[in-house]
Amino acid sequence: MKNHLLSALLLVAGLGLAETAAAQTQVFVQWPLKRNASDSAAVRSTGVTPGTPMLRRYFISNGQVPTGAAAFAPYSSVGQAFGVNADGSGWSSTAPSMGPGGSPRRGFSEQFSFTATSAVQVDSILFSAAVVSSANGKVAVAYSRSNFVSDSTDITGGKGPTGVLPSTGNATFGLSSTGGTVNTAVNGAVVPQYVAGAPSSATTFRLALNGATGLAVPSGQTLSVRLYFGVASTGVGRYVLLRNVTLKSRQVALAARSAVQTNLAVYPNPAQNQLNVPHTAASRDARVTVFSTTGSKVAAFVAQAGSTETAVDLSALPKGLYLVEYADGTQRSSARIVKE
């Protein structure tokens, strides 16, 4: 078994295949929204500085129990709860409510952003969303590289909770009958009704920011993405539940990687339960990441600032081939290893 794995490892290392990106996940920023509005530092990639989510004409739940409705804390295991009013009411577009109504409107949004500290590539946004006490929710998504001052671009569709989104409900604002831009979405994607105990994956949206091309974000530029929700139900308790908002690049399979420097002198290799990763003096954002052969991130470790070696615990990983990558914001290096 050992010789087989080593032979496979050497074969992968010697292929010299070209890769399309210099990093396994060039951008990975996630806001879980289960405890607060901060992003998760544990999974944040280097090269980005996340911003704080900004609500525009939405209000976080007041956590109280409205008559005839369930109470939802501002942040909980089901995500961030918010509405046009703090009690979940006000969605109607008819006075006196003046909410967005059943279709998302540009005046009502939550914005997620990051500023690139080095040139990065971002391809998609993922999030889970549901609406409490209503099956009439919709969402639209747009992005901007000027904080929506001089540009606003629709996402290009993708997958929703029930599969590929149709062109008539692909989470874009779309165009008017005369081909002009609109402030009320004509192609909002359906957001499912929240059902207690239902698998979280049942409400996940996976949307492309710029089709197959993705977005190049140069150093110093800020990418902002806004989520616009509409609910065609009135009364208290109609909260949007939002969680795990993620901006990310494509995952690139290990077998397709060669441009990342493979000069990381890890030991021992093969390894069993612990791998030692020597490196230059670590900066505050340095980390060690382990990837499977399919390109999935399977473990991540923060390197202690100033340290020159990081111990990586492999005990929870099955036997096989992995790629270990060290990144500190200015450089990336990697090594292919065998876990025995």
Cβ–Cβ under 8 Å, residues 228 and 106: yes
Distance (Å, rounded) from C-alpha 80 to C-alpha 52? 14
pLDDT band at 329 (very low <50, low <70, confident <90, very high): low
Predicted local distance difference test score (pLDDT) of residue 69: 72
Residue at 185: amino acid letter: A
R_g (Cα) of the chain, nearest Å? 22
Predicted local distance difference test score (pLDDT) of residue 67: 65
Predicted local distance difference test score (pLDDT) of residue 200: 60
**Over pLDDT 70: what percentage of the chain?**
85
In whole numbers, what is the pLDDT of the chain averaged over residues?
84
Report which DSSP code applies to 254.
G
